[in-house]
């Protein structure tokens, strides 16, 4: 028998351990590579958007109508250097493609803007004819006419004006924060997986201790054994990483469409095709994690290097680390600082959990008068010491799932309530482009038998500008103009408000801002805000801050009495809740008022269904990460508990020798396993509640720009408690199987280390 075959024969006797190690490395690689690919694509797309917007400006029509191919032809014939830019989102979910005309872009060469377009390699630029074909197949594309950033070559023809190329609000920082949020979550998944891999690996090394000792007696140098162990681990990782990366790319493809919709809806950030090739970075990351998780076993133990008193003092660092994280979280100024606080709390909790469990078990054992109860608690203390890593990993996984599930649930409830207020009217009837909304207002006011005066209002949207500040700079803002302020509007929930906020807004004595704008500029109720509307600068006090979930844009809400005479909205619609069966009559009447075709009408129930569908996709990736990690942790603890208890079968058989029946002995083991798993679940509960609070109150505002109310859901606690009971019951069932087979009794107690006695 060769040295390698003798060394690796352990896995022939314990194939389950080899399978567990391989599956954990594979799943960790899959999750990490899928998240890495999606976030890398989003970051590259964000950089692409900012690069394009910085390099170009666009020409728009003075009558606010969308530009067409005819406008492009007219401008080129007038001698203007202009290039068509057609963005199309294919239904395949592979990301947006951009159609450009290389011949039209030739005139950009002198200004240095040509390299921005680059070669038409489909990443993401294609010929405009291909983009037009995609637009015809899927959905209408968004056409823009771009000119180089700088003075145009000659005066523009009448009817056109120059504007900044802003396809979306400035949400780059929020988009990066959200991607950092995902990266942090995947890093937490990687940490939990590393703990699980290390626990399984160290268990195998403990079982192989006698084999290593035997090899040393036969003259094999310890260094050679260690080199073979390193090669064994590297070979295992390499065999699992490649299929893990392939599965990760497959998972990214499955989740890509939902992820793209979430990024587009939350941050107005399109995902461009061909962006985000992350290469072999996930493989390198996983290899480093596996090496750090397992090969640190080759380093000297702290007890062998540090004096006993110094090691005891190091143990007291855990409470300090925990307190530091708890103090830092509420005052974290950035997302990185918030994640640092979470990391400190997790490190401190991970170091304290085994000690807390062991101390509680010893304390309970000393208080028990029943011998079996004392035995159970003493044995629980042994478990807490010997299964520390898988127990901590399960605790982290339970806390993460509890927090993510609570975050998703509170978002769904809050978003549903907010959307029900925003879509209180049954229908939206759009004002046709170029039509005047004032005759329609008068017509509705004179037809109260069709729609009551409190059951409709006019909504107008436009763009305004805010003054520059040191933190936010100068930027555009959305304007929301409402009239009349009926009960459907005044019933909105406000985060903060001044006395008589709605009546003062109705009289034009102030404005309201959404939470996103208030956070970015540090606005509070009573502050004066300067906003430029249609070339007129208004100075009005902030009357209230209102929630505006699901979008990154800053928004200012004013009444019609506040806007200047030259105000021209870019979009208008009537929100209407008509009398039963009167909607067709209303639409027909408005058609006659405007003298155009039938106006566009949207059923708000359909709008709400679409909004709910989009935001259900938002946390799909986080839910997937959390649930897969929980399954991994539960399976690892199940296997670890079974293997560890199997090594003590000889000891548990003594229960029968002491006078218990087989069923009574199995009952004691079942109670012991359930005490272990439910104890971990109870310790995970406060960590999960704290993590929920950090997500909704600290991380969510930094990542999205809006906060959520804190809420707990005992139903989720019960589900996780049931899972912990299921894992404990599984360990008990496996132990019942082990007790039916003979067990090897150690020759002496000296063969057991102190933690297993």
pLDDT at 633: 66
Confidence of residue 153 (pLDDT cuts 50, 70, 90): low
- Whole-structure pTM value: 0.67
Average pLDDT over residues 11-36: 74
**Angle, CA 49 vertex, CA 45 and CA 53 arms, to 5°:** 170
pLDDT at 678: 85
Average pLDDT over residues 658-668: 80
**3-state class (DSSP) for residue 208:** coil
pLDDT at 67: 80
**Rounded CA gap, 557 and 679, in Å?**
51
Q: Average model confidence (pLDDT) for the chain?
A: 75
- What would the pLDDT profile of 587-622 be if each residue is shown by its tens digit? 888 888 888 777 777 777 776 666 666 566 556 666
Confidence of residue 113 (pLDDT cuts 50, 70, 90): very low
Residues 39-57: b if buried by 16+ CB within 10 A, e if exposed: bbbbbbbbebbeebbebbb
pLDDT at 271: 55
Q: Which parts of 56-99 fold into alpha helices (H)?
A: 69-77
DSSP string across 5-65: HHHHTHHHH-HHHHHHHHHHHHHHHHHHHHHHHHHHHHHHHHHHHHHHHHHEEEEEETT-P
Q: For residue 562, which phi and psi values (nearest 5 degrees)? A: -95, -25
| Sequence-distant (≥ 6) Cβ neighbours of residue 702 within 8 angstroms | 177, 332, 334, 335, 338
**Rounded CA gap, 142 and 144, in Å?**
7
Residue 274 has pLDDT above 60, yes or no: no
Residue 327 has pLDDT above 90, yes or no: yes
């Amino acid at each position: 028998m060769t040295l390698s075959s003798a060394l690796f024969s352990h896995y022939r006797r314990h194939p389950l351990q080899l399978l567990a190690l391989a599956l954990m490395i594979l799943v960790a690689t899959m999750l990490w590579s899928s998240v890495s690919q999606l976030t890398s694509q989003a970051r590259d797309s964000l950089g692409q958007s900012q690069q394009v917007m910085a390099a170009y400006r666009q020409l728009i029509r003075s009558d606010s109508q969308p530009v067409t191919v005819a406008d492009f032809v007219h401008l080129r014939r007038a001698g203007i250097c202009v290039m068509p830019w057609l963005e199309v989102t294919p239904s395949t979910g592979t990301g947006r493609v951009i159609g450009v005309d290389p011949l039209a872009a030739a005139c950009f060469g002198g200004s240095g803007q040509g390299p921005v377009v680059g070669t038409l390699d489909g990443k993401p630029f294609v010929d405009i004819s291909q983009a037009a074909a995609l637009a015809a197949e899927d959905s209408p594309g968004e056409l823009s006419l771009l000119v180089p950033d700088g003075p145009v070559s000659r005066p523009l023809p009448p009817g056109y004006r120059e504007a900044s190329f802003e396809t979306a609000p400035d949400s780059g920082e929020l988009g990066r924060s959200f991607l950092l949020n995902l990266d942090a979550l995947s890093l937490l998944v990687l940490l939990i997986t590393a703990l699980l891999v290390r626990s399984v690996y160290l268990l195998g090394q403990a079982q192989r201790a006698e084999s290593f000792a035997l090899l040393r007696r036969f003259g094999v140098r310890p260094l050679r054994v260690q080199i073979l162990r390193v090669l064994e681990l590297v070979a295992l990782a390499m065999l699992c990483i490649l299929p893990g990366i392939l599965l990760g790319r497959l998972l990214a493809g499955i989740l890509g469409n939902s992820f793209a919709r979430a990024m587009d809806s939350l941050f107005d950030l399109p995902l461009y095709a061909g962006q985000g090739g992350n290469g072999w970075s996930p493989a390198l990351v996983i290899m480093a994690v596996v090496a750090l998780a397992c090969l640190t076993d080759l380093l000297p133990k702290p007890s062998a290097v540090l004096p006993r008193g110094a090691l005891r003092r190091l143990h007291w660092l855990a409470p300090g680390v925990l307190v530091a994280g708890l103090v830092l979280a509420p005052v974290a100024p950035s997302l990185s600082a918030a994640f640092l606080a979470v990391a400190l709390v997790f490190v401190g909790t991970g170091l304290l959990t085994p000690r807390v469990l062991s101390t509680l078990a010893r304390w309970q054992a000393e208080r028990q008068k029943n011998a079996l109860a004392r035995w159970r608690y003493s044995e629980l203390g042994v478990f807490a010491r010997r299964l520390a890593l898988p127990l901590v990993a399960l605790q982290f996984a339970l806390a993460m799932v509890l927090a993510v599930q609570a975050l998703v649930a509170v978002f769904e409830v809050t978003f549903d309530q907010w959307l029900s207020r925003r879509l209180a009217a049954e229908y939206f009837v759009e004002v046709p482009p170029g039509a005047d909304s004032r005759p329609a207002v008068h017509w509705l006011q004179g037809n109260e038998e069709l729609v009551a005066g409190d059951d409709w209002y006019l909504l107008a949207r436009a763009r305004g500008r805010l003054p520059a500040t040191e933190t936010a700079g100068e930027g555009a803002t959305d304007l929301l103009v409402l009239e009349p302020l009926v009960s459907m509007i005044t019933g909105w929930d406000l985060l903060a408000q001044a006395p008589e906020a709605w009546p003062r807004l109705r009289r034009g004595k102030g404005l309201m801002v959404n939470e996103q704008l208030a956070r970015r500029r540090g606005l509070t109720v009573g502050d004066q805000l300067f906003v430029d509307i249609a070339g007129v600068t208004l100075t009005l006090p902030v009357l209230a801050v209102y929630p505006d979930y699901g979008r990154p844009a800053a928004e200012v809400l004013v009444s019609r009495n506040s806007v200047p005479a030259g105000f021209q909205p870019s979009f208008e619609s009537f929100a209407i809740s008509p009398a039963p069966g009167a909607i067709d009559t209303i639409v027909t009447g408005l058609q006659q008022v405007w003298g155009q075709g039938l106006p566009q009408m949207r059923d708000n129930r359909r709008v709400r269904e679409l909004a709910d569908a989009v935001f259900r996709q938002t946390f799909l990736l986080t839910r997937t990460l959390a649930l897969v990690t929980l399954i991994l942790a539960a399976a690892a603890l199940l296997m670890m508990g079974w293997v560890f208890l199997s090594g003590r079968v000889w000891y548990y058989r003594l229960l029968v020798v002491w006078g218990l029946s087989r069923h009574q002995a199995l009952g004691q083991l079942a109670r012991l396993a359930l005490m272990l798993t439910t104890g971990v679940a109870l310790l995970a509960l406060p960590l999960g509640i704290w993590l929920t609070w950090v997500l909704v109150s600290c991380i969510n505002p930094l990542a999205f720009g809006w906060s959520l109310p804190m809420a707990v859901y005992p139903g989720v606690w019960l589900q996780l408690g049931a899972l912990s009971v299921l894992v404990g019951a599984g360990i008990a069932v496996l132990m019942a199987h082990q007790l039916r087979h003979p067990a090897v009794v150690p020759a002496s107690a000296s063969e057991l280390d102190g933690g297993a006695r």
